A and B are shown apart, each in its own frame.
Chain A
Amino acid sequence: MSDKQYKLTFCDGSGCLKNQAREFRRVFEEELQRQQLQQNVQMHLSGCLGMCGKGPILIVNPGYIMYGHLRLEDASEIVREHLVNGRPVSRLIIQEDHLYNRFFRIFGDSEFFGRQMRIALRNCGVIDPEKIDDYLAMRGYEALAKVLTEMTPQQVIEEVKKSGLRGRGGAGFPTGLKWEYTAKQSDPEKYVICNADEGDPGAFMDRSAIEGDPHTVLEGMIIGGYAIGSRQGIIYIRAEYPLAVQRLKKAIEDARREGFLGERILGTDFSFDIRICLGAGAFVCGEETALIYSIEGARGMPRPRPPYPSVSGLFGKPTLINNVETWANIPVIIIDGADWFSRIGTATSKGTKVFALAGKVRNTGLVETPMGTTLRDIVFGIGGGIPNGKKFKAVQTGGPSGGCLPEQYLDTQIDYESLAKAGSIMGSGGMIVIDEDSCMVRMARFFVEFTQDESCGKCTPCREGTKRMLEILTRITRGQGRPGDIEKLERLGTMIQKASLCGLGQSAPNPVLSTLRNFREEYEEHIHQKKCRSHECTALLTYVVQDNCVGCGACKRVCPVNAVSGNRKEKHTIDPKLCIKCGQCYDACKFNAIAKV
């Protein structure tokens, strides 16, 4: 951001690149140089803007003027007429009125946002989530009106199938098929459920989506209800999200008042209503069968499938469960079309995915990018890389069910299959960046501690297996690892994967198995050499005063257990027997004379 007069955004997506977008940019830059305008403009590259049939694309701000179908010879005209004379070149302007990427108008010109494509989060940060008017102004509920007046339920299902949308909650089941199975059931009573029980540590995609744009979730659900022939929808959301719950309640009331919910929606024969069900925050209740038990008032525990909820779900009735992000995609698919949607992404995974980018990365935040974006683009492009000059070590995807991928996987194109092949999972979208200062054994231990804590206890492999794994991992991080521990972890892990009842149990060993695969040497160092290379495991490290100690006494003063001794202006020493490894001396030393070894 600067005093530049114009901001130019060039689409750098693969579709535009095929249409000579880079050449166009080069010619454009030459033209700017010739006219000596480089100082007046700021140039940005965006990720795919989704208008691949109209590339190359150039957006000029202020004014958000979008040029398309650009040929090399157009560059000089745009520079001369628009940038010099202030007259936009009308014959090259394209008008777009799609739902996705609305946020681009406000956020598109910054590095962090410009490389994203937003479908599910299109209105987040753009509209006032508590005003239905704001949503209506963004063509809200138009998809619902279109579905109710112009499409049969079967056509809606076909459209969703054709879009290639897959469940965004983690497993990636094709959404259209799920809808079709549920629609085929002849039972007159059916339910639609929105799974907003977001439980992965570090994940907040669903909360942000609901807090930023609750109506889009409602609209998606109503369309789902129409498609499968249901009259009742339920949003299962954790009580820890009070603001999201409050905004949902307001949205439901407003939608009822405007006739989008309730009896005879928009004057048609279709009636549908939504209620909210609060969850107590158990991780396992994100699993669909456990979630259904929880709504019924029973203890949240998974049961074996089949029967799938699409056949026998809530109260034994056919039930359609989708995740928040999946629902938020539906209105866009209806308005912008399945054909458009299916052009975004990879061969097997269509559309975009929202990630909660966290950990050791400069720009933390919510990121929505097309499927097929590489991990490197997200971590180093949008995320801005690792702060403080540290080295990248791994990226953890998929939360406690996922795995850690080291550097050699950075160019993996993100989709359901490629992440699975690399040894991790898409999951619901948590993405934690790990730098060289983090110990992978501790990382694995953290996730196992979480799943062990959250295990519902119904099946033995998960209940006992994760407990045993946690014991072994704790031992290793305390410097009491034994030869054979690694093999034991691998055996236990594979057993839990194979024998657990639900998806959470089956994926619980993933953090351990993937770190064993990619960072085995760290486990071996912990066990055999009693060393932690990132100095995170305090039991395996000693604080030592080095020769550059000037004897100022700062460490001596802060040590809570009087483990430091030494005369003024002489080198001090730390007694390892007394040291409790609190690290205060390390922080207090102004001369970097204390080292962790």
Chain B
Amino acid sequence: MDLIRKKRAEAVNRIISKGYLSTKRVYVGMATCEIAAGSKEVMAIFQDAIAKGLTDVYLSQKGCAGRCNLEPTVEVVEEGKVPVKYGLVTPERAREIIERHLKKGEIIQEWVI
């Protein structure tokens, strides 16, 4: 049991060292269904933005949450705030999420699930 606790603590540390405590965590759905709906392109937009200097963002993929007709989905989670879930995210919407939400903190209500 101690071993598993140690392993968990190490895992948590590794996740934190990758920037988990950044102000905003972005999760992009990457299951077969989400990829079919175009989530790879969406993921690429976020990766590209980070490569080009977007900071304070922890980007991760996730499995399918089960919201089929609104895929691809993207969540923006911020400590102390209500998690925001976007549906039907296209590359254009992803760019706008980066500009308006990630950079300026504006929640784009029309796309929220």
- CA of A588 to CA of B15 in the docked complex: distance in angstroms? 57
- CA of A492 to CA of B97 in the docked complex: distance in angstroms? 58
The answer to whether A208 touches B12 (Cβ under 8 A) is no
The answer to whether A7 touches B82 (Cβ under 8 A) is yes
The answer to whether B4 touches A266 (Cβ under 8 A) is yes
* A62-111 CB contacts (< 8 Å) to partner B: 62-63, 103, 105-107, 109-110
Cβ contacts under 8 Å, B12 to chain A: 133, 136-137
The answer to whether A1 touches B63 (Cβ under 8 A) is no
Q: Which residue of B lies closest to A268 (CB)?
A: B3
Cβ contacts under 8 Å, A145 to chain B: 1, 3-4
Given contacts A106-B75, A106-B77, A113-B65, contact A208 B3 (CB under 8 A): no
A273 within 8 A of B: no
Cβ contacts under 8 Å, B68 to chain A: 358, 364-366
Given contacts A113-B65, A125-B66, A208-B64, contact A141 B31 (CB under 8 A): no
**B32 in complex: contacting residue of A2, A112, A121, A244, CB < 8 Å:** A244
Chain B nearest CB from A369 CB (Å) reads 12
B103 within 8 A of A: no
Chain A nearest CB from B71 CB (Å) reads 9
Cβ contacts under 8 Å, B63 to chain A: 123-125, 127, 129, 208, 211-213
Cβ contacts under 8 Å, A132 to chain B: 11
- CA of A187 to CA of B66 in the docked complex: distance in angstroms? 42
**B66 in complex: contacting residue of A2, A127, A208, A243, CB < 8 Å:** A208
The answer to whether B32 touches A207 (Cβ under 8 A) is yes
**B11 in complex: contacting residue of A124, A136, A244, CB < 8 Å:** A136
Residue in A131, A211, A367 whose Cβ sees the most chain B Cβ within 10 Å: A211
- CA of A367 to CA of B15 in the docked complex: distance in angstroms? 29
The answer to whether B1 touches A150 (Cβ under 8 A) is yes
Cβ contacts under 8 Å, B107 to chain A: 1
A23 within 8 A of B: no
Cβ contacts under 8 Å, A142 to chain B: 4, 8
Cβ contacts under 8 Å, B32 to chain A: 207, 211, 241-244
A590 within 8 A of B: no
Total interface residues in chain A, CB < 8 Å: 60
**A133 in complex: contacting residue of B11, B29, B33, CB < 8 Å:** B11
The answer to whether B15 touches A137 (Cβ under 8 A) is yes
Cβ contacts under 8 Å, B33 to chain A: 204, 208
B113 within 8 A of A: yes
Given contacts A2-B109, A365-B67, contact A258 B7 (CB under 8 A): yes
The answer to whether A129 touches B1 (Cβ under 8 A) is no
A126 within 8 A of B: yes
The answer to whether A62 touches B60 (Cβ under 8 A) is no
Chain B nearest CB from A265 CB (Å) reads 11
Chain A nearest CB from B67 CB (Å) reads 5
B44 within 8 A of A: no
Given contacts A125-B29, A365-B69, contact A212 B62 (CB under 8 A): yes
The answer to whether B112 touches A146 (Cβ under 8 A) is no
B52 within 8 A of A: no
B61 within 8 A of A: yes
Q: Which residue of A lies closest to B84 (CB)?
A: A1
Given contacts A137-B11, A142-B4, A365-B68, contact A107 B85 (CB under 8 A): yes
Chain B nearest CB from A366 CB (Å) reads 3
**A1 in complex: contacting residue of B64, B80, B109, CB < 8 Å:** B109
Residues of B within 8 A of A (CB): 1, 3-4, 7-8, 11-12, 14-15, 27, 29, 31-33, 35, 60-69, 73, 75, 77, 80-85, 107, 109, 112-113
Given A1-B84, A62-B81, A368-B66, 19 more pairs with CB closer than 8 A: A1-B107, A1-B109, A1-B112, A1-B113, A107-B85, A110-B85, A110-B113, A125-B63, A128-B62, A129-B63, A133-B15, A134-B11, A141-B4, A149-B1, A208-B31, A213-B63, A243-B31, A266-B4, A366-B65
Q: Could you list 29 examples of A-B contacts with CB < 8 Å?
A: A2-B109, A7-B82, A106-B75, A107-B65, A109-B82, A113-B65, A113-B67, A124-B62, A124-B63, A125-B29, A125-B62, A126-B62, A127-B63, A129-B63, A130-B61, A131-B15, A131-B60, A132-B11, A133-B11, A133-B15, A134-B11, A134-B15, A136-B11, A136-B12, A137-B15, A141-B7, A363-B67, A363-B69, A366-B68
Of all A-B residue pairs in the complex, the 4 with the closest CB atoms, nearest first, are A212-B63, A125-B65, A366-B66, A136-B11
